[in-house]
Structure 1
Amino acid sequence: MNICVFLSASDLPDRYTRPAREFAELLGKGGHALVWGGSDTGLMKVVADGVQEAGGRLVGVSVEFLAAKARKGADEMVIAKDLPERKGLLMRKADAIVIMVGGTGTLDEATEILELKKHGHTDKPVVLLNTAGFYDGLKEQFHRMEDEGFLTRPLAELVFFAEEPAVALAYLEEALGNR
């Protein structure tokens, strides 16, 4: 599988890096490819290192203004002209999406894929990896949106919430038949 991971490029504490590294190692050992923002900094670097060291492939999509931070030695690296093009390329190259901890860029990517899925423009499985309860508030907001009629599809059809890396990958492998 080509698994796109939306996540931060910031340096983060162990409570976030350890589970991200665990997911990356599981992904690599499973023979899957990481599709990510291409950065060789912060949490993006942690995940890319873990996948590569465990034998997985790296497919990066950076953007012109961040090209200097793009990882050298990725199996594939594309440089997009801007953030919208980058986001589109990341989604097209992926069989599935995992949302890890991140800031406004990650939140933008997460809500766009869910909006596309809500309207039937993609059927790719989406997992929100809720490391250390990072997305508890967002999860609550999504449930409120569902309860109050703002979602045209059940939340469970849009996103799977996982608390642990192994649960996230198991869900994706089952959803896609471990291809």
Structure 2
Amino acid sequence: MNIGVFLSAADLSEQYTEPAREFGKLLGAGGHTLVWGGSDVGLMKVLADSVQEAGGRLVGVSVEFLQAKARAGADEMIVTPDLARRKAELLRLSDALVVMVGGTGTLDEATEILELKKHGLHAKPVVLLNSAGFYDGLELQLRRMDAEGFLPLPLSQLVYVAQDGADALAYLQEQL
């Protein structure tokens, strides 16, 4: 599988780097390809290192203004002119999408992917990887949106919330 992952490029604590490392090992050992933002810094680097060390393939999708931070050792690196095209290219190249911990950029990517799925513009599985309870608040908000009729399809068809990488990968393998 080509698994697209949205996540932070920040240097983060072990409560977030260890789940990224574990998920990367699972992806690589399973022979999967990581499709990610292409950065060789922070959590993006931790994930890419783990995938590559476990034998997986790396396809980066960077953006012109971040090209200096792109991973030189990726199997493939695509550079887009702006963030909108970067998101579109990540979606195009991925069989499934996983949202890991991140800031406003990751949240933007997650909500756009969910919005596109909600409108039937893609049917790819989407997983929120809820490391250290990071997405507890977002999960609560999504459940409220579902319960109060803001979503045109059941939340269970829109996104799956996984507590760890093994759970996320098992779900994706069931879906594809």
Instruction: Report the TM-score, using the length of structure 1 for normalisation.
Output: 0.98
Over the residues paired in the alignment, what is the CA RMSD in angstroms? 0.4
- For residues 117 and 61 of structure 1, the distance between their equivalents in structure 2, rounded to whole angstroms, comes to 21
Distance 2:20 2:107 in 1: 17
Q: What CA deviation, in whole Å up to 9, does each residue of 1:23-80 have, x standing for no partner?
A: 0000000000000000000000000000000000000000000000000010000110
Alpha-carbon deviation of 1:174? 1.2
Residue 139 of structure 1: aligned partner: 139
What's 1:69 paired with?
A: 69
**Cα distance in 2 between the residues matched to 1:165 and 1:78:** 26
Paired with 1:44 and 1:137, the residues of 2 have a C-alpha distance of 23
Shift of 1:132: 0.3
SS at match of 1:150: coil
**Number of the residue aligned with 1:17:** 17
Aligned residues: 176
| Structure 2: distance between partners of 1:173 and 1:27 | 11
Query: Where do 4+ consecutive residues of structure 1 move more than 3 Å?
Result: none
Measured in 2, the distance between the counterparts of 1:123 and 1:168 equals: 17
Could you tell me how far 1:164 is from its partner in structure 2? Answer: 1.1
Quote how far apart the aligned CAs of 1:14 are.
0.2
In the TM superposition, 1:73-152 aligns within 5 A as: 73-152=73-152
> How far apart in 1 are the matches of 2:92 and 2:7?
17
Secondary structure, aligned partner of 1:8: coil
| Secondary structure of the structure 1 residue equivalent to 2:35 | strand
Give the gaps of 5 or more residues in structure 1.
none
Shift of 1:166: 0.3
Structure 1 counterpart of 2:167: 167
Q: Distance in 1 between matches of 2:118 and 2:6?
A: 18
Paired with 1:124 and 1:146, the residues of 2 have a C-alpha distance of 19
